[in-house]
Amino acid sequence: MRRRVLHTPPACCRLLVVPVAYICNPSSPQASSSTRRTHSMSLDRHHLHHAVGALLSAALLLSAAALPGAMAEEETEEESEFSYVPGAPNGPDRWGEINASWATCSDGQMQSPIDLSHDNATLVRSLGYLNYTYRPTNASVVNRGHDIMLNFTGDAGSLVINGTAYYLKQLHWHTPSEHRVGGRRYDMELHLVHVHEAAAGEELEQPAVAVVSVLYEKSLISVLLPDPFLKTLEPAIRRVRDIRGREEPVGVVDPDGATATGSVYYRYMGSLTTPPCTEGVVWTVFQNPRRVAGYQLELLKEAVVDGYEKNARPLQDVNDRDISIFRPIKRSVYVE
């Protein structure tokens, strides 16, 4: 397991005024030295998998024991009930009407995704570098119908926000990107989904889900510069193509290979971007995109079930939410 040295942020913290929790990352004993990772951000056998695929992925995102109230609701696996087609009876603007438990999709005030920019964000250097430690572990590629997911079946590591550990459970892709930066929509967006697992009897004061978003930009010389992390998963993605619920074990995968480039990120409180659109999710969206080959974009689009090639939820209202941006201090080098 590789480690990076953590640049411990100052012992101060900015409270974002939201009804759920702090979304900052103050100094803590847990945020010390070399144990942390700094982001200078970075079917016969298949019949069985088909039968249990939904059960596996339903357990990924949320642990009911760990979630307060509405957060006990999971990201839906019933993708046939909703679509991404604007104006359709089950399209994004109607998600809240399809199922009573999805009402938050329509009437929530802290929905995701949103447009992020320097104009609507406040610089908060006390957030510090993203503090994570990821580990290589066994994983499986799962076709959930509406997206392709990499499900970690072992301990994939964690990140720490505001002194709370969130454990990496899965990652998945959206094409095109759901979040925008300065009005720009990117070619793809990766979500690394982390869950805070409460101890028995513990009452959570922090959000239970934290998502790290990595944006992708199509490479101008795409054939020569494919994304190396996706490259290792291409055979499995092809094998689960167009088969909802199909799962393909891929052995040991290092999630560190999927992390963002650069260290500038936005932080805000939002929601899941698919039904039930549960709120209280801590979002970390990195500003600098990774590069991805055009054929890799098409592979992910073609692998999902027909009708979900474009699986990005439209932008949601910011509603005066506080949005922070972390940008490290530029250090000048003087030569005598």
pLDDT greater at residue 275 or residue 308: 275
- Give the range among 197-206, 246-255, 300-309 with minimum mean pLDDT: 197-206
Query: Could you give the number of structural domains in the chain?
Result: 1
* Whether pLDDT at 121 is above 70: yes
Which domain, by its residues, includes 295?
43-117+132-255+264-323
In a domain, 78, yes or no: yes
Q: Active-site residue numbers?
A: 146
- Sorting pLDDT into bands at 50, 70 and 90, what band is 224? confident
Report yes or no on 138 lying in a domain. Answer: yes
Is there a contact between 230 and 295 (Cβ–Cβ < 8 Å)? no
Residue 10 has pLDDT above 90, yes or no: no
Q: What's the average model confidence in pLDDT over 44-57?
A: 40
pLDDT at 21: 37
CATH value at residue 296: 3.10.200.10
Task: Please report the pLDDT score of residue 197 as a whole number.
Answer: 84
**Residues 231, 296: Cα–Cα separation, whole Å:** 8
Residue 336, pLDDT > 60, answer no
Which amino acid, residue 294?
G
- 8 A C-beta contact, residue 145 and residue 304: yes
- How do residues 229-284 score in pLDDT, each as one tens digit? 999 999 999 999 999 999 999 999 999 999 999 999 999 999 999 999 999 999 99
Q: Residue 201: what pLDDT?
A: 62
Rg of the chain (C-alpha set)? 19
Query: pTM of the predicted model, to two decimals?
Result: 0.77
Q: In this predicted structure, what is the pLDDT of residue 33?
A: 37
* 35 assigned to some structural domain: no
Please report, as a single letter, which amino acid is at residue 158.
S
pLDDT at 151: 99
Q: Quick check: is 283 in a domain?
A: yes
| Any domain includes 205 | yes
Inside any domain, residue 125: no
**Is 90 exceeded by the pLDDT of residue 194?**
yes
pLDDT, residue 330, reads 80
Per-residue pLDDT at 25 exceeds 50: no
Residue 68: CA atoms inside 13 Å, Cβ hemisphere, count?
A: 15
Give a yes or no: residue 249 inside a domain: yes
Decide if 307 is inside a domain. yes
- Does residue 156 register a pLDDT over 60? yes
Q: Which residue has the higher pLDDT, 37 or 153?
A: 153
Give the mean pLDDT of 58-68.
37
In angstroms, the CA 282 to CA 272 distance is: 10
pLDDT of residue 205: 65
209 close to 61: Cβ distance less than 8 angstroms: yes
Res. 38: pLDDT tops 60: no
Residue 109, C-beta contacts closer than 8 angstroms, at least 6 positions apart: 279, 319
Residue 176 has pLDDT above 80, yes or no: yes
For position 169, what pLDDT does the model report? 98
pLDDT beyond 70 at 299 = yes
Exposed e or buried b for every residue in 136-145, given b needs 16+ CB within 10 A?
bbebbbbbbb
Residue 334 has pLDDT above 80, yes or no: no
Residues 91-115 have a mean pLDDT of 97
